[in-house]
Structure 1
Amino acid sequence: MRVVMFGYQTWGHRTLQALLDSEHEVVLVVTHPKSDHVYEKIWDDSVAELAEKHGVPVLLRNRPGDEELLQALREAAPDIIVANNWRTWLPPEIFDFPPHGTLNVHDALLPAYAGFSPLIWALINGEREVGVTAHRMDGDLDMGDIVLQRSVPVGPADTATDLFHKTVDLIGPIVREALEKIASGTAEWTKQDRSRASFFHKRSVEDSRIDWNWPAEDLERLVRAQCDPYPNAFTHHRGERIRIVSAGVSKARYGGTPGRIFIREDDGVVIVAGAEARSGRCRGLVIRRLRTEDGVEHAATDYFRTMGGYLTDRP
C-alpha cells in the first residue's frame, strides 16, 4: 500500500521506521515543527530527519488542512494514512481521504485514557496495565473502531520512563500487523464502548505540583509518573521549590496535618499526607531523594536536618 504518515516525536519516529521497514511505500510524511513545550522536548527523535534520510517528502505543520497540504495528499494518492502522536485535530477531508482511511496509533488501552499523556495519567491512577491501540480515526478524539490492541503490566516500581520503553516497543509490531490485516482484507474492527471512555488533557508544570491532601499511595505514584526526564513532582520548603526524585509509602501510620515534616523512617523522611491524616490512619510519604532549584540532588535525610515545619504547595 501507499502510505502517508502523520506523526511527531519518538512515537512518530518509531511508527515511520516500522513503515519504512515494511513492504509498504511511504510517499509523504507530515510532522510538527520543533516545539519549546517542556513535554515535547522529551522523547524528541525527529520524524523529519528520518524521512529526509530515506528520501521521503516532508511537510511541517502545526495544524493541517491548508491547500498546499491537501494538494500534496492528492498527488501522493495514499491507500491509507497512519498517524501517531499527531498533536492537533485532523479534519475529515484528511482522515477520510484515502480508501482505507486513517489508522491512528495511541499509547493507551482505549477507550480509557484517550487524549494526552496517557501513560503518566494511568500510572498516577494506579492502573495495573497500559498498552497501545491501533484504531480507525473518526471525528471524535481517539474513539474510532479498534483493529488491534496490546497491553503490558505495570510493575510496582515502574516509572513513566519504564512504561514509555515498554509501550514504545509495541509500536513497530502493531503497525506492521495492523497494516497486514488491512491490506489482506482480514481486519476485524471492534467498536469502542463509549460509556467506558475517559479523556485526559495535556500535562503542564502545574500538574506536577504536590497536594499533600492526596493519600501517600497516590503521591508515591505521582513521583514515579513525574520521574526524570519529565518535570519532577514538586513542593515548597521555606519558600524554595524542591523536586521529589525518589519516594515511598511509610511503613507506619502518622497523624497530624498534611505536609508536616515529621520523622525519619529508614532511609528517608516522612511527610504527613492525606485529607484524613488527622485520624492517624494514613500512611505518610517517605521522601528519599530531592533536587533543589540549583540542580543539586540531596538525600532527604541530609536536606531535612531537623524535623518540623511544613512542605507547602506554594512558596
Structure 2
Amino acid sequence: MRVVMFGYQTWGHRTLQALIDSEHDVVLVVTHPKSEHAYEKIWSDSVADLAEANGIPVLIRNRPDDEELFERLENAAPDIIVANNWRTWIPPRLFDLPRHGTLNVHDSLLPKYAGFSPLIWALINGESEVGVTAHMMNDELDAGDIVRQESVPVGPKDTATDLFHKTVDLIAPVTIGALDLIASGKKDFTPQDRTQASFFHKRSLEDSRIDWTWPAADLERLVRAQSEPYPSAYAFHKGKRLEVLAAVVSEGKYGGTPGRIFYREGEGVVIVAGADARTGRNRGLALTRVRTEDGRELAASEYFTAMGGYLTSRP
C-alpha cells in the first residue's frame, strides 16, 4: 500500500523505519519541528532525517491544517495514513482522505491511557502491564476501533525508561501486523469499550513535584516513573530543591506528619508519607539516592546528616 506517515520523536522514527523495511511504499512524511519542551527533547530521534536519508519527501508542521499540506496529501494519493506520536489534532478531511483511512499507533493498552505520556501515568498508577495499540482514527482522540494490540508486563523494579525500551520494540510488529490485516481486506475491528477509557494530559515539571500526602507505594512508583532521562521527582529541603533518584517503601510503619525526615532504615532515610500518617499505620518512603540543587549526587544516608525537619513540596 501507498503510505503517508505522520510522526515525531523516537516513536515516529521507529514507525517510519518499520514502514521502510516493509513491503509498503512510503510516499510522504509529515513531522513536527524540533522542540525545547523538557519531555519532547527526550527520545528525540529525527523522523525528518530518516525520511530524507531514504529519499522520502518531508513536510514539517506544528499543525496539519493548511491548504498546501492538504494538496500535497491529495497528490500523494495514499491508500492509508499511519500516525504515531503526532502531537496535534488531525482533522477529518485528512484522516478520512485515504481509502483505508488512518491507522494511529499509540503506546498504551487502549482504551486506557489515551492522550499523553501513557507509560509514565501507567507506572505511577501501578498497572501490571503496558503495551502498544494500533487503531483506526476517528473524531475522538485515541478512540477508534482496535486493529492490533500487544502488551508486556511491568516488573516490580521497572522504571519508565525500562518500559519505553520494552514497548518501543512492539511498534514494528504492531504497525506492520495491523497494515497487513487492512491490506488483506479485513474491515471489522474491535470497538473500544468506552466505559474503560481514561485520558491523560501532557506531563510537565510540575507533575514531578512530590506530594507527601500520597501513599509511600505511589511515591515509590513516581520516583521510578521519573527515571533518567526524564526530569527527576523532587521536593525541597531547607528551601532548596532536592531530587529523589531512588527510593523504596519502608519495611516499618511510621506515624506523624507527611514529609517528616524521620528514621534511618537499612541504607535509606524514611520520610513519613500518606494523608493519614497521623494514625501510625503507614509505611514511609525510604530515600536511598538524591541529587542536590548544585548537581551533587549522593546516598541519602550521606546527605541527611541528622534526622528531623521536613521535606516539603514547595520552598
Give the TM interval when normalised to the shorter protein.
Answer: over 0.9
252-261 vs 290-299, which moves further: 290-299
Q: What residue in structure 1 maps to residue 3 of structure 2?
A: 3
Contact conserved, 1:236 with 1:312, CA < 8 A, in 2? yes
Q: What residue in structure 2 maps to residue 157 of structure 1?
A: 157
Q: What residue in structure 2 maps to residue 92 of structure 1?
A: 92
TM-score (norm 2): 0.99
State the alpha-carbon separation in 1 of the partners of residues 274 and 65 from structure 2.
Answer: 48
Q: What residue in structure 2 maps to residue 167 of structure 1?
A: 167
Deviation at 1:188, TM superposition (A): 4.1
Q: What residue in structure 2 maps to residue 51 of structure 1?
A: 51
State the alpha-carbon separation in 1 of the partners of residues 291 and 207 from structure 2.
Answer: 18
Contact conserved, 1:115 with 1:201, CA < 8 A, in 2? yes
Is residue 197 from structure 1 mapped to residue 205 from structure 2 by the alignment? no
Query: Structure 1, residues 230-270: CA drift from partner, whole Å, max 9, x if none?
Result: 00010000000011000000000001100000011001100
Contact conserved, 1:259 with 1:311, CA < 8 A, in 2? yes
Give, as a single letter, the amino acid of the residue that structure 2 aligns with 1:294.
D
Query: Structure 1, residues 243-300: CA drift from partner, whole Å, max 9, x if none?
Result: 1000000000001100000011001100000011111100000000011122220100
Q: What residue in structure 1 maps to residue 35 of structure 2?
A: 35
Q: What residue in structure 2 maps to residue 268 of structure 1?
A: 268
Is residue 24 from structure 1 mapped to residue 24 from structure 2 by the alignment? yes
TM-score (norm 1): 0.99
Contact conserved, 1:2 with 1:26, CA < 8 A, in 2? yes
Percentage of pairs with the same residue: 74
Counterpart secondary structure, 2:250? strand
Instruction: List runs of 5+ in structure 1 lacking aligned partners.
Output: none
State the alpha-carbon separation in 1 of the partners of residues 31 and 297 from structure 2.
Answer: 36
Number of residue pairs aligned between Structure 1 and Structure 2 = 315
Q: What residue in structure 1 maps to residue 133 of structure 2?
A: 133
Q: Please list every run of at least 4 consecutive aligned residues from structure 1 whose deviation after the TM superposition is greater than 3 angstroms.
A: none
State the alpha-carbon separation in 1 of the partners of residues 188 and 97 from structure 2.
Answer: 21
Q: What residue in structure 1 maps to residue 114 of structure 2?
A: 114
Deviation at 1:186, TM superposition (A): 3.3
Counterpart secondary structure, 1:78? coil
State the alpha-carbon separation in 2 of the partners of residues 44 and 76 from structure 1.
Answer: 27
1:240-259 alignment to 2 at 5 Å?
240-259=240-259
Counterpart secondary structure, 2:289? strand
Query: Structure 1, residues 115-160: CA drift from partner, whole Å, max 9, x if none?
Result: 0000000000000000000000000010001110101000000000
Give me the CA root mean square deviation. Answer: 0.6
Contact conserved, 1:27 with 1:76, CA < 8 A, in 2? yes
Q: What residue in structure 2 maps to residue 60 of structure 1?
A: 60
Deviation at 1:187, TM superposition (A): 5.3
Contact conserved, 1:104 with 1:137, CA < 8 A, in 2? yes
State the alpha-carbon separation in 1 of the partners of residues 141 and 101 from structure 2.
Answer: 15
Counterpart secondary structure, 2:257? coil
Instruction: List runs of 5+ in structure 2 lacking aligned partners.
Output: none
Counterpart secondary structure, 1:39? coil
Query: Structure 1, residues 60-110: CA drift from partner, whole Å, max 9, x if none?
Result: 000002011001001100000000000000000100000000000000000
Counterpart secondary structure, 2:169? helix
Counterpart secondary structure, 1:34? coil
Q: What residue in structure 1 maps to residue 286 of structure 2?
A: 286
